[in-house]
């Protein structure tokens, strides 16, 4: 796990003024990565780092010739259209570039004049997925979500007996993952109407969001090898926000016996910014398992995990309806939870994923599963917030929701804060539901 170092110093200030504003997601202590270009241009996509309301164009920074050694090699990799090559370089390269950028962007830096032309305003940029995602695994790592949903789907057996022993996951669809700002059509699927004895093909009537944390793999492992728990985070580049949209009526009909399929693979939306694990070092927390629960098998347990294996990331879900947009009203917050409550840690997900010799590769994505807390208002999905659609949510416009309506836009936000350190953010991820396409 990363140690706190000079890049986390709360007294640091940048010569980019907006990075010093209270409450910004992107102070100099953060330095998250994305892939971007100027909006509406035919420029190639390339890597960038957020600072205040600006983006440092890492391709232009490389051309400025200010970095040397490993940091220069890392900058060159970040000039590519995806960050896969940079991710594959490993922890030493990630840390070297973070150290260089922290020093180069501080208020007393001698590189300010040479790097100033390399900035692009975030409001003038458009984004692509930060990595070429070869594989996507979605986990089910919140016991609060699993228990609540289990009660809805299986009232007599809500939490299956393996849940407390093994991190449950399924192989998701990488090709339908898109970056924040995604608009997608309400999907069709087989559903079984209440009281019917045969299914029908129809647009989902129970469209939902899932508030998740995405985990990007950096350096991979060879096929047939295992990643020990103590080394797992050396293989993790960073985290982002993830919305795993779900068609709950399709899910209810199809999920047995093999789990999610068409109910999940029509759309997944990622935030553009990846916050590195090194940036999150001040926001570590003990990973804990209730004493009455089964304790993890040895390959999923360790002293470092128990001491600081959890990440205290605050998570929020917001809803903007078409009426809110028309009336110029802001979105309404639906829930607030913390990734700290996750039953399985990031390191455990990686260690378990590879215990059978599965090879992870740079740019692979792991989803945490819906992140819900122990209280009802901390639920990370409408399925939980509305008790399976039985208790509609009332909005300030007079509208109600059990599940998402056409025109609804869902926004997730995430951040970390702690006394003695500067708040850092994960930005936001947003997506909007369009009407279903007419059947052909």
**Does residue 439 have a pLDDT over 80?**
no
Please report the pLDDT score of residue 13 as a whole number: 98
Higher pLDDT, 428 or 258: 428
| pLDDT tens for each residue of 35-70 | 999 999 999 999 999 999 999 999 999 999 999 999
| pLDDT tens for each residue of 21-30 | 999 999 999 9
Please report the pLDDT score of residue 157 as a whole number: 81
pLDDT band per the 50, 70, 90 thresholds, residue 158: confident
Q: In 3D, which of 363, 365, 391 has the Cα closest to residue 379?
A: 391
Catalytic site positions: 145
Domain ranges of the chain: 6-128, 136-434
Handedness of CA 63, 68, 69, 71 (dihedral sign): negative
* 178/173 Cα distance (integer angstroms): 11
**Does residue 265 have a pLDDT over 80?**
yes
Please report the pLDDT score of residue 28 as a whole number: 98
E strands present in 263-348: 268-270, 275-276, 284-285, 310-311, 314-320, 332-338
In a 10 Å sphere around its CB, with 0-12 CB exposed, 13-18 middle and 19+ buried, how is residue 51 labelled?
A: buried
6-128 matches 136-434 in fold = no
What average pLDDT does the chain have? 97
| pLDDT tens for each residue of 190-242 | 999 999 999 999 999 999 999 999 999 999 999 999 999 999 999 999 999 99
Considering only the top CATH level, what class is 136-434? alpha beta
Share of the chain above pLDDT 90, in %: 95
| pLDDT tens for each residue of 159-178 | 989 999 999 999 999 999 99
Overall fold of domain 6-128: SH3 type barrels. (2.30.30)
Please report the pLDDT score of residue 223 as a whole number: 98
For 128, 247, 320, 335, 394, the CA distances from 398, given in Å and listed in that order, are: 36, 25, 13, 19, 7
Please report the pLDDT score of residue 264 as a whole number: 96
* 327/310 Cα distance (integer angstroms): 41
pLDDT band per the 50, 70, 90 thresholds, residue 339: very high
Helical (H) or strand (E) element with 208: strand 207-208
């Amino acid at each position: 796990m990363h140690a706190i170092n000079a890049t986390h110093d709360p007294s640091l200030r940048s010569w980019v003024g907006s990075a010093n504003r209270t409450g910004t997601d992107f102070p100099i202590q953060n330095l998250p990565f994305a892939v971007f270009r100027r909006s509406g241009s035919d420029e190639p996509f390339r890597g960038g780092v957020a600072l205040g309301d600006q983006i440092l164009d890492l391709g232009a920074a490389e051309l400025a010739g200010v970095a040397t050694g490993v940091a220069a090699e890392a900058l060159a990799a970040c000039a590519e259209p995806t960050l896969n090559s940079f991710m594959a370089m490993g922890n030493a390269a990630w840390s070297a570039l973070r150290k260089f950028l922290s020093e180069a962007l501080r208020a007393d830096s001698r590189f300010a004049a040479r790097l100033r032309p390399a900035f692009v305003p975030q409001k003038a940029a458009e984004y692509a997925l930060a990595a070429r995602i070869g594989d996507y695994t979605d986990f089910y790592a919140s016991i609060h979500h699993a228990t609540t949903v289990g009660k809805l789907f299986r009232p007599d057996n809500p939490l299956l007996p393996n849940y407390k022993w093994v991190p449950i996951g399924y192989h998701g669809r990488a090709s339908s993952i898109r970056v924040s700002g995604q608009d997608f059509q309400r999907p069709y699927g087989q559903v079984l109407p209440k009281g019917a004895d045969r299914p029908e093909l129809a647009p989902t009537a129970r469209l939902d969001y899932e508030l998740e944390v995405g985990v990007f793999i950096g350096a991979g492992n060879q096929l047939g090898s295992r990643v020990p728990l103590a080394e797992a985070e050396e293989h993790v580049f960073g985290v982002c926000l993830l919305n795993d949209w779900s068609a709950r009526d399709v899910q209810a009909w199809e999920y047995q016996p093999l789990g999610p399929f068409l109910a999940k693979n029509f759309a997944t939306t990622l935030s553009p910014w990846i916050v590195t694990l090194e940036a999150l070092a001040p926001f570590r927390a003990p990973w804990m398992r209730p004493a009455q629960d089964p304790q993890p098998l040895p390959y999923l347990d360790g002293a470092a995990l128990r001491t600081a294996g959890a990440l205290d990331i605050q998570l929020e879900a917001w809803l903007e309806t078409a009426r809110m947009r028309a009336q110029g009203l802001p979105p309404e917050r639906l829930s607030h939870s913390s990734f700290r409550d996750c039953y399985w840690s990031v390191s455990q997900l990686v260690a378990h994923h590879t215990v059978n010799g599965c090879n992870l590769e740079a740019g692979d994505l792991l989803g945490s599963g819906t992140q819900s807390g122990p209280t009802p208002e901390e639920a990370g999905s409408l399925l939980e917030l509305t008790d399976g659609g039985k208790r509609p949510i009332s909005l300030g416009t007079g509208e109600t929701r059990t599940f998402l309506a056409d025109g609804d836009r869902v926004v997730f936000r995430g951040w970390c804060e702690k006394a003695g350190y500067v708040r850092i953010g994960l930005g936001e991820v947003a997506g909007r539901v369009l009407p279903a396409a007419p059947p052909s």
